[in-house]
Every structure is written in structure tokens, then in C-alpha cells.
Structure 1
Amino acid sequence: MLKASILYYQKVSFLFSVILILQTVLGCENNLLTRLENFTDITSLEDSEIIRRITETEGLRLCNSDSFLISEDNTTIYELKTTEYLIEIFCFVGAYQGTYQYLFYDANQAEHQIISLSFTIFDERGGSLQIGDTSLLTGYPEFDLDLEVLTVDRKARGLGDCGSYAVYQWQDDSFSLQEYRYKGECDGVYIPVEEYPLIYP
């Protein structure tokens, strides 16, 4: 028993010595103890706090409007990791599907950085598809938090026999287009959106 106590005391003393040495080497302002103390202060934010911060941020033009009111009812918040969040805002509904905007909120920044995300899409113009960017997505979005993948099924008409299917991967604080499928013929033939003709890559 005495031998075990001595061994435990030696381990604790060694660990304390290592921390003191690191503290001396790194300096007071960046010492290990301070970093550990700051790390324990990091906590997840409440949805209401995130929405309040978004409301107070100027220049976002939520849903391309100066008067759009964000609330917990029209917002879904995904915690990507502590202090980093993906915010999905339901802007409005059309005849048969909704339109959404996405924000990235980094609470680890001194100014709590909030940015509007953009997405690569293909628009049908003049009978052909043209690549472009948009801050608003129309369709039925689903975000897989574990894989950090966003899929969007957009119907070209209410019958659902044509439209597009997009897959976006979250990486480097933005969404990158991984796959885009498009069925332009509204011919009454129904196939899974995952089997639409591949447009990209």
C-alpha cells in the first residue's frame, strides 16, 4: 500500500513539474494552464442566442429581404462542432416546395463571424444549362450532420416527374458541389432523383 502511494505521488509530482516547465517555456500569456482554463470555458450556444446574434448582424439581407424576421420557428441550427454552426433558414414556400438560405456562424471569432453561404447550381436558360451561384436554394433539402452532406431535391413541377438533384459536401467552412443531376423532360415518367441524368461532375 505504501509502495503504491509513493508511486502515485511520484507520477503526480512529475506531471506537475512538466506543466511548470511548459509554463516557463511558453510564457505567462500563453501558458498551458491558461489554455486549459480557456478550453473548459467553451460551451455550446443556445439557439435563441445564435438567432439574436444573427438579428443584430447588419448586411446579411436574409432571404434577399430587408424585412425578413428570423425566429426559432423558421430556423434549424446544426452544431458542426463546438462554436461552429450551420444555420438553415426557411424563407418562404412556393406552390409545392420551399426556398432556404444557409449561414455559417463561427462563435470562436472575436466578432462572432456570420457569413451567408453560396451554392453552385445549374440554371436552364435558353434551352441549355448554365452554371452559376446562388445564396438561396429551392427544393427539399436534407442535411446529414454525421457526414456533413447536404442534398437538395428540386421539383420542376408539382407532379415531380422532372427537376434536379444536388449533393454538397461541407469542407473548409463552405459547401462544395459533389454531384448534380437533372431531368428536364416533364414526361410523366417517374424515376428516383438519384437516377436523373448526371450533369456534374
Structure 2
Amino acid sequence: MARLLPLALFGLLLAGCADAPETTGAAPEASGETASGFDAQAWLAEAKGLRFDAEGSEMLDEASGDEIDDAGPDEAETLRAQALAAELDEAVGWRRACDTYIDENGAAVYEPTPTEGAHWARGTLDVGLITETEAVVAVTCDFGAYQGSYALVRIRGDRATLLRAPATDENGQPMDASETTFSTPSWDRLTDRVVTTFGRARGIGDCGNFITYALASGDEMELSEVRQRACGDTIPDDIPPPEAWPVVYTAE
């Protein structure tokens, strides 16, 4: 199964976390270009109401904001999202992106997830609208004990583009490699074309990283800032929000 956490989080984990999987060979290149025949705007029109909180396993009704009870593998909205995700995979190859991770040497390693071994939430969608015709879509890759990993796809005009960003090492510094899977994204600043991700190094969320990216014109997101907090031996009484964690990298 593909590694759930970006490399930058592994230096912060406590003992007892699962080992990284053995490598199975170099990763084939994931396509960032829209496949011929894919209608990005028609797809977005169908998908734009989907908001899935994989962290809480809650499907949300966009119109009312109400939770759809008992979100799970057999629910209609889950199946609808996964059908749309299958169309999107044919266009941009998010499954390959999901199953590719960056090792400690900065090499991309491809380890495909067997269909029978995939988490039921794989392929659920969380659509963040920038405008009515532009969006960033988080596609759930996998899910562990307390967080998931996601591929990000940008819909703009007649194009769907798989987003990449500079990978970061265990110290939060950019590597000479691009990654295509991300920790939990937030759309709070998306209208400003900013995406943030929060990676927990343990379940309580007192350590890990908080990364800020800027959407650029192509398929590469710009790494703007990395905040990071190491895990201590004890749980603090007051846990500062990740937005207030120490800055370990900022773009010049």
C-alpha cells in the first residue's frame, strides 16, 4: 500500500509508526495533461456539490450543509463521487499519482494499490470552488488511523491538471523533486489561490507540518511556507494551532 504521509512528516513521528513500504521500482510519469474528449466544465458541473470529509467519514450536502448519515462504501453519494473520480483518472491519472511517493533520496517510487486492498474512501471527492468555472479537487488516495492522503486536481477552463509541488524533507526544506500526494488540504484561502495542508505526525495533532502553497499558472504549486512542530514525549496542555507553529522555510 502506498505511503500515507509525505516524507517531511516521518522525521517527526514517534516510535511505533509503521515502516515505509519496500520500493517496487521507479514511478512511471503521471500525466498532468487533460485527456482528449474529457469535458472539464461538464465534469465540474456534476461534481461541484460534492464535499467529503474523509477525516470524519462524513459526506456533506452542499446545499444544506447537513451531514449525510452513515457515509460509507455503499452510500449513493460515495458511489457517485467514485464514478466521477474514475472519469477524472482517465483524464489526469490521479491513481498513479496517489501510488507514487518520494523516498529519502528524492526518488519517485511507484507502488500500486491493489483494488481489493484499497480503503473504501479512495476516490471520494472534495471540491473547492475558486469561481463557478474554476476549482481544486481533492481526491482521496488512502486513509490511515487519523488522516488521509490526497491527489489535487485543478479544473480551469477546458483543462483538468494534476497538481504537483516541491517535496519537502524531514526538516521542512524543499527537495529537488516534485510530489503529487498531499496531507489534508484546506480551502479557507482558495479564493486567493492559496492552498494549505495540515499533516499530523500523531493523532492528537500537536505535531507535524502546516504547508502553504500558491497556485501558479501551470501544474506546479509554489511552495510558500512550511511550519513544523516536533513531537514531544508528553502531550502539551495547550496545543497551538498549526498556523502558529515555527516557520522552518519561507520562499524568498
Q: TM-score, normalised by structure 2?
A: 0.49
Alignment correspondent of 1:193: 242
Aligned length: 152
Q: Is the 8 A contact 2:149 2:182 kept in 1?
A: yes
Within 5 A, what are the aligned runs for 1:126-141? Answer: 128-132=171-175, 133-138=178-183, 140-141=184-185
Q: Could you tell me how far apart the structure 2 residues matched to 1:170 and 1:200 are?
A: 18
Q: What does the per-residue CA deviation read over 1:10-50, in whole Å, with 9 as the maximum and x for residues that have no partner?
A: xxxxxxxxxxxxxxxxxxxxxxxxxxxxxxxx886322796
Any gaps of 5 or more consecutive residues in structure 2?
1-40, 48-79, 100-111
Relative CO higher for 1 or 2, CA cutoff 8 Å, sep ≥ 6?
A: 2
Instruction: State the identity %.
Output: 26
Alignment partners' CA distance in 2, 1:170 and 1:58: 18
Amino acid at match of 2:174: I
CA contact (8 A) 1:104 1:115 kept: yes
Moved more, 153-162 or 46-55: 46-55
User: Which deviations, in whole Å up to 9, do the C-alpha atoms of 1:166-201 show, x marking residues without a partner?
Assistant: 111223244222211111242433322122111111
Structure with the larger strand share: 1
Task: Measure, in 1, the Cα distance between the counterparts of 2:248 and 2:194.
Answer: 19
Among candidates 90, 98, 107, match of residue 56 of structure 1 = 90
Q: Which residue in 2 is equivalent to 1:114?
A: 160
- 8 Å contact kept, 2:122–2:139: no
Partner of 1:179: 225
Unaligned runs of 5+ in 1: 1-41
CA contact (8 A) 2:97 2:180 kept: no
Residue 169 of structure 1 aligns with an amino acid whose one-letter code is A
Candidates 86, 105, 124, aligned match of 1:74: 124
Q: 1 CA distance for matches of 2:203 and 2:121? A: 28
Question: Distance between the aligned counterparts of 1:152 and 1:58, measured in 2?
Answer: 21
Aligned position for 2:141: 91
Deviation track 1:91-144 (CA, whole Å, cap 9, x = no partner) reads 111121111110123442xxxx433211234221xxx55423311112x32113
- Secondary structure of the corresponding residue to residue 171 of structure 1: coil
Q: Which amino acid aligns with 1:153?
A: F
Question: Could you say what the CA RMSD is over the residues aligned between the two structures, in angstroms?
Answer: 3.3
Radius of gyration: which is bigger?
1
**Contact between 1:51 and 1:72, CA under 8 Å: does it hold in 2?**
no
